Chains A and B, each alone.
Chain A
């Protein structure tokens, strides 16, 4: 490991002498606040406007006005509610009312299965945790597993089979499947999955139909890591990064520490292992991030370089050339970039087999192939990188097969199309014209949890079960096999799993998912099936089923050409909370702020301050709210309107957008018709439309959150170039938790000044030039509370001991059958008493 001196001459004008004001800020607007504020300390506890008397219709006024009405309405609450107790009819040994149980199962996430333990309260799944006993060896989960429970109870879930938009029955659908002719041209579009049973169903369909097309589809296109290893080694492999073994890590736009990454838990844990210092001799790994957005990985990096996504490709090639892999491309580098290139190459070369280069999903397969070649050159294959040999992986590009399928659909060469768990009408690139092509298909069937855009455009719609209510199987990232066992019967009788639907298509027989999965596993387990089956269900995995380690030859170094076209680039990503729209109608995920921008309930076009300046875009900050300009973003004739967000650390000339917004879902529940004085009606507590956005009776969108950017995406890529931006209007309110902390939230955990900060590292602190794009309004500062009036912060008090005992008693959670008891302990919660500043 080397110590880098200040490597940026632009910012090296002795940053240690500049101690005026804090270097810790969450948003440029805050930086400006600080600059004009004499005592920045009072911002620690109270947010702007907190000391103001409430203006407008405040909560207090509302309560005063409503007090009388409430009191009268409340009288009906005096009536004793009559509650019923419904005991089981047949006693059960397993369920003890009031004591939750845990079951091992797995959540399908893209093309892997994430092993989880799910808590069940009297037969209702309520909480998802990681399965720590699984060979993957991690107890935690990402936010998606946590929020997946709410998807199960989503009131807007599709409830019945539909044909041509009107309700029909499951048996009608089975009849329809039976009548399908053998000579028909049948195509199936499935979501990415890892299920051996789905593969078996595919075989059944191939046996039944002479012309079967099977296409795997994902909202952001094929996995470039898969295609990259195909380019490098001749077959698709699955790389796993052992970041704990690495001394020097270079991330090329790779968001490895984000929950969206397939191997997220392994990455975070092994990265933490490499950073942990337990005694004086321990070394820390060093993380370099070269990225086209401000990501959580970049936030964890020691050195971060912002760069347009299309130039990262060149950076990778130039780095490869420095390390003796491939030829250097023809590119101009800034001074800062050149220093980074030199120092990263030097650092990686010295680290040798303990250096690793990771390529991210926004990068094309060539960059993945090149990073594999670099890792091989460094000697990292086998130490920092493990290559798994997946059992079944089509070598062809999914993007190409999908595009082929759509053109066949348009030319009437497809008679029946089955779409299972996918939503291409919403998220396929517009240039393919999927929706028009779909109208050409005689029999189109959509199987999905929600009655979404594709469901409405298809002839048939079959509700799909949630993973907590279906039998299935799959493989974890390392290949370990698991069975998905349901925790509850399907909430709606018509809902069926993808395995059941595909089996009906393949055989015409309406079989139960349980029998289908067991049939496959019986062949796999062989002897003593029942016993092993029970063990697999109990443990949540089958032992010793990891993928083989691949042995590979010398990696082919791809030819990386310089990007031709200039202009603005647009980088498409899955949303950090909504993914590709799977979690759109999930209030927890809508409410969860973006990890960097802290924006909720909206998607934005993220640009750098310089780009915003160039385009004449502004975000106005006033009284704790952000008012953004809205732009029309056009790529190749397709356009979408989005609010803009100015993010320091974002590369210039690049626009970041996320998928998953702008949904139009059709709900089947009844509208809101309870009169407001009827306070005893607790049945209908929902809005008329789904929270992500719905349609009214005339088919017009209502309550749509954000805009759908997926149609703008170019086929087979995640980066579009030559985008055009024009301003539409201003003063669009962005819901953002960027600054509204203080007394209402948690302030920064730690502050530092430049003096005590990282002296040997390049100065990453922002320059003090105010960002011209932020206008600040001073109104709210008029009544700011002086620092002396602030109540003192008292030391934290601990929860009482007796309480710990009792909670351990009552909240003990028993894992199903002979598993150790987990204690949920009250862990010294901080209580900071606070008096109102008003």
Chain B
């Protein structure tokens, strides 16, 4: 009876073993990366009802973040400005701009503009802007270079995953800045910033919690 399998078939078990091993490892790494928020959500840039350009307002005109996002130091929400805030200036400049049509409509009809949320945290994660901003976490640290995001809208620059949060919660001295630099875009840390932040952490008793119930309560 002739042999069904040639001799070289003897390598098949080993090959398939190694293959499945490598394939498994590769699969883990693929899932690790492609299922992570770093891949799935970074770069999320939904269409917004009004082609508002942070690049123009915050970048070119140099308006401070807090001119519009007024409550960021006092509330857990960094509020989206009311239509009135827009109309403070646009009641006088660019009053005929087609891009501002929806803003004017909102103002005339007293109906809110429906912005689409970009930075989305799950409902079970509680986050407070006030406690971060007052401790020296820069806007840019989480939101990226807002001053470079133009009319096509704001996109998500960081993964906002739990692991990413914990990076800073474990070593805040690597990320903090002085409070008057919180809204600065493109801030460069001085050479001795780690010592400076460690001093601050000691002086102000900054202990970012890493226990579960700090955010999931």
Contact = CB atoms under 8 A, between A and B. Distances in A.
Nearest to B85: A91
Nearest to A805: B205
Interface stretch (A65-73, A294-302, A796-804): A796-804
B106 interface: yes
Contacts of A86: 112-115
Interface in A772-823: 800-803, 805-806, 809-810
Contacts of B206: 802
B76 A91 contact: no
A806 B106 CA distance: 37
Contacts of B214: 803, 806
B53 interface: no
Contacts of B213: 803
A97 B79 contact: yes
A82 B205 contact: no
B75 A80 contact: no
A81 B123 CA distance: 11
A99 B82 contact: no
B207 interface: yes
Nearest to A808: B131
The B interface is mostly helix, strand or loop, or mixed, namely loop
Contacts of A88: 82-84, 112
A83 interface: yes
Given A90-B84, A91-B84, A96-B71, 4 more contacts: A82-B46, A86-B115, A90-B110, A802-B205
Interface string A600-631: 00000000000000000000000000000000
B41 A80 contact: yes
Interface string A28-63: 000000000000000000000000000000000000
B177 to A, nearest CB: 19
Contacts of A98: 71, 75-77, 79
Given A90-B84, A810-B131, A96 B114 contact: no
B209 interface: yes
Interface in B9-66: 40-41, 44, 46
A84 interface: yes
11 contacts: A84-B117, A86-B112, A89-B83, A90-B83, A90-B84, A96-B75, A96-B79, A98-B79, A99-B75, A800-B211, A809-B131
Interface in B73-105: 74-77, 79-85
Nearest 7 CB-CB pairings of A with B: A98-B75, A802-B207, A98-B77, A86-B112, A83-B117, A91-B82, A810-B128
A89 B84 contact: yes
A85 interface: yes
A85 B134 CA distance: 24
Nearest to B81: A87
Which of A90, A801, A806 gathers the greatest number of chain B CB atoms within 10 Å?
A806
Given A800-B209, A800-B211, A809-B130, A87 B75 contact: no
Interface of A: 78, 80-92, 96-99, 800-803, 805-806, 809-810
Contacts of A805: 205
Contact of A85 (B74, B106, B117, B130): B117
A809 B128 contact: yes
B174 to A, nearest CB: 18
Given A86-B114, A806-B214, A97 B84 contact: no
B128 A90 contact: no
Contacts of A97: 71, 75, 77, 79
A99 B71 CA distance: 9
A800 B169 CA distance: 15
A89 B106 contact: yes
Contacts of A99: 71, 74-76
A801 B206 CA distance: 11
Interface in B108-147: 110-117, 120, 128, 130-131, 134
Which of A82, A84, A803, A810 gathers the greatest number of chain B CB atoms within 10 Å?
A810
B178 interface: no
A85 B80 contact: yes
Nearest to B117: A83
A516 to B, nearest CB: 27
Contacts of B110: 89-90
A96 B74 contact: yes
B214 to A, nearest CB: 6
Given A96-B71, A802-B205, A803-B214, A87 B130 contact: no
A89 B111 contact: yes
Contacts of B131: 806, 809-810
B150 interface: no
Contact of A89 (B107, B115, B117): B107
A805 to B, nearest CB: 7
A96 B213 CA distance: 25
Contacts of B106: 89
Contacts of B208: 802
Contacts of B117: 82-85
A607 to B, nearest CB: 44
B71 A83 contact: no
Given A98-B71, A806-B214, A80 B120 contact: yes
Nearest to A814: B74
B209 A803 contact: yes
B178 to A, nearest CB: 19
Contacts of A78: 40
Interface string B149-175: 000000000000000000000000000
A724 to B, nearest CB: 54
B128 A84 contact: no
Nearest to A799: B213
Contacts of B46: 82
Nearest to A84: B114
Given A800-B207, A806-B131, A83 B84 contact: no
A319 to B, nearest CB: 54
Nearest to B129: A98
Contacts of B44: 80
Contacts of B82: 87-92
B84 A801 contact: no
Nearest to B35: A78
A98 B130 CA distance: 10
Nearest to B88: A91
B127 to A, nearest CB: 10
Contacts of A809: 128, 130-131, 134
